[in-house]
Amino acid sequence: MSFLTLNNVSYRYRDADRCAVENLSFSMHEGEFLAIIGHNGSGKSTMAKLINGLYTPCSGEVTYKGISTREAKRLHDIRKEVGVVFQNPDNQMVATIVEDDVAFGPENVGVPHEEIEERVTDALAACGMLSERKTAAARLSGGQKQRVAIAGVLALRPRLMIFDESTAMLDPKGRKEVLSVIGKLNREQGIAVILITHYMEEAAAADRILVMHEGHLVADGTPSAIFQNRELLARVGVTTTPTALLCDSLTERGITLPQGILYEEELTEALWRQLK
């Protein structure tokens, strides 16, 4: 059975003159790490809300483990396994103390009391926030709040987590913290990830990238294939990674570098090699 499949999905907001997403088709397998990039308004958030059943397609079908989001009675089964973390950590906190906040989700879906404690502890540990379990949420940094929000979703034991620009409001340190938690959940717990981001270096860490443009899926490929296609990137109004841009400048200045460098670490290594 397929894990997640979108088959010709279109969605139009009420009174809008065009579809926010149109004829979207792709599928992902269990444990995959997918990034979605695209200019503002290209339909990324709409897609996220279609996947967890917050919106029902105007046409086409979204199925998670064979269950269609049209089956209202089974939406609950989908939402238990498909969690979404949004952009603003302040809008996602429901309790004043960290551990209560994380317990809220499982309490709400009727997880037995004895099990909640274990789930909260596991989730906070996975997000590196166990030592702050008794802390007041208001005292946390942005990156810490976002990690508590992730722990809150994790306590529901999801199999797919969607991050809709979850690092956008964080400083570089907070962004790194959150991204490293996301990578760890994917690698160590096999949780499938859909990472929606405007930071190309984050997208480059995914197994696969989908590119959205004006409601359409215009490319689907590995990070290296997508970022080497400069013509495509220019057309959809996104850039490559900052490191790749830096490589362009260095090449123009006569420094020879291997093709296709995307991350800082790769560039550092290549430069070290030149100096030897």
Ligand X SMILES: Nc1ncnc2c1ncn2[C@@H]1O[C@H](COP(=O)(O)OP(=O)(O)OP(=O)(O)O)[C@@H](O)[C@H]1O
| Contacts of residue 176, Cβ cutoff 8 Å, sequence gap at least 6 | none
Q: How far apart are CA 48 and CA 53, in angstroms?
A: 9
Instruction: State the binding string over 28-47 for ligand X (x if CB under 6 A, else -).
Output: ----------x-xxxxxxx-
Options 8, 13, 108, 245; binder of ligand X; rule CB under 6 A: 13
Contact 7, 61 (CB under 8 A): yes
Q: Shortest Cβ distance from residue 175 to Mg ion (Å)? A: 17
Residue among 52 and 144 whose Cβ is closer to ligand X: 52
Residue among 61 and 214 whose Cβ is closer to ligand X: 214
What angle (nearest 5°) sits at the alpha carbon of residue 34, between those of residues 33 and 39?
A: 150
Residue among 12 and 74 whose Cβ is closer to ligand X: 12
Choose among ligand X, Mg ion, none what residue 69 binds, the Cβ cut-off being 5 to 8 Å by kind: none
Residue among 19 and 148 whose Cβ is closer to ligand X: 19
Choose among ligand X, Mg ion, none what residue 94 binds, the Cβ cut-off being 5 to 8 Å by kind: none
Residue among 46 and 186 whose Cβ is closer to ligand X: 46
Size of the site for ligand X (CB under 6 A): 11
Q: Does 166 bind Mg ion (CB under 5 A)?
A: no
Bridge partners of 36, per DSSP, are 196, 210
For residue 210, give the H/E element and its range: strand 208-213
Q: Does 16 bind ligand X (CB under 6 A)?
A: yes
Size of the site for Mg ion (CB under 5 A): 2
Q: Shortest Cβ distance from residue 11 to ligand X (Å)? A: 9
Nearest to 21 by CA among 220, 214, 233, 235: 214
Nearest to 48 by CA among 147, 153, 141: 153
Residue among 156 and 238 whose Cβ is closer to ligand X: 238
With H, G, I as helix, E, B as strand and everything else as coil, classify residue 258: coil
Please provide the size of the chain in residues.
276
With H, G, I as helix, E, B as strand and everything else as coil, classify residue 259: coil
Choose among Mg ion, ligand X, none what residue 43 binds, the Cβ cut-off being 5 to 8 Å by kind: ligand X
Q: Does 46 bind Mg ion (CB under 5 A)?
A: no
Options 45, 69, 92, 243; binder of Mg ion; rule CB under 5 A: 45
In this structure, the number of other CB atoms found within 10 A of the CB of residue 86 comes to 18
| Helix pair angle (98-108, 142-154), 10° resolution | 30
Question: What residues from 46 to 75 belong to the interface with ligand X (CB under 6 A)?
Answer: 46
Token pair recorded at residue 273: 């090699």
Q: Shortest Cβ distance from residue 63 to ligand X (Å)? A: 20
Q: How far apart are CA 64 and CA 9, in angstroms?
A: 14
Contact residues: Mg ion, CB under 5 A? 44-45
- Residue ranges that bind ligand X, judged by CB under 6 A: 13, 16, 20, 38, 40-46
